[in-house]
Structure 1
């Protein structure tokens, strides 16, 4: 094994890079992609400079792997940005502050309100059908309402 590591050719580095890229397909989150690219880069350098000592090859692989992993980490952090639609896919949150009609009377704190073409469960004060209520909060699929002015 030691003998193999001391005499790695560019094919070995390229094969390592391909293996890491294949493993990336199974869901490593991008990190094996960049480490595989580091192995491929060392393979290319070993092809260009075939007399490169094995110690330098492993040192370059380590440096490239760390540099590319840090690059990926930094890129992932900078990719997080604030949405211009923060309530997208949080439909109940976008309803807060809006006024709707009671669809099914709110009795014992429970009832239903009509929101566009759907009906939502509502929690709030006793209200007969047709009463205007304002959404003030959300607990899962249940909207918290209060009497509208």
Structure 2
């Protein structure tokens, strides 16, 4: 049986469409491999054995590249969605001193529980804070952080 280039292109598209129904995100790469074989066999006449080897190698290469190289780069490195305990000990910079209500504003370089700026109150055992000082999270009081000056 001879596989023409358009057979590979159709197979690749069918595999890519089938990915919609599967949560694994792997059929897409086998479809991409089939499309790659379709393009190569359009440019060069290849035997069925060579086409199958190219499909296997490109499909596995695409799959490994996705799971080992690209997917980890797309991971959410923020601490959004994690418990409040993970925020204890994080360090931010004071961007607004406490006002009359006793609350200031601190900014973190990495979002903390989904936000990079938080209201804060100064812990009782803390040294006074100035604008631009670094403050460490000691505890939570509702949606307000209790911070202390970083020593």
- Report the TM-score when normalising by structure 2: 0.52
Separation of aligned partners in 2, 1:8 and 1:28: 29
Provide the alpha-carbon RMSD of the alignment.
2.7
Partner of residue 65 from structure 1, selected from 59, 69, 79: 59
How far did residue 98 of structure 1 move?
A: 3.1
* Partners of 2:15 and 2:23 in 1: CA distance: 10
Q: What does the per-residue CA deviation read over 1:36-66, in whole Å, with 9 as the maximum and x for residues that have no partner?
A: 01100101111112x3111100010011011
Cα distance between partner residues in 2 of 1:76 and 1:63: 20
**Higher Cα radius of gyration:** 1
Write the distance in 2 (CA, Å) between the matches of 1:16 and 1:28. Answer: 19
Check if 1:89 corresponds to 2:81.
yes
Deviation at 1:82, TM superposition (A): 3.2
Aligned length, in residue pairs:
95
Structure 1: where are the runs of 5+ without partners? 1-5, 101-114, 117-133, 135-149
Which 5+ residue runs of structure 2 have no aligned equivalent? 89-136, 147-151
Greater fraction of residues in helix: 1
Alpha-carbon deviations, 1:59-95, whole Å to 9, x = none?
1001101111111111223433632xx2x33465358
After TM superposition, the structure 1 = structure 2 runs for residues 34-73 of structure 1, keeping only pairs within 5 Å, are 34-49=29-44, 51-73=45-67
Q: TM-score, normalised by structure 1?
A: 0.53
Q: Does 1:25 align with 2:27?
A: no
In the TM superposition, 1:1-149 aligns within 5 A as 6-49=1-44, 51-74=45-68, 75-80=70-75, 82-83=77-78, 86=79, 88-90=80-82, 92-93=84-85, 97-98=138-139, 115=142
Contact 1:23 1:32 in 2 (8 A): yes
CA distance in 1, matches of 2:67, 2:24: 10
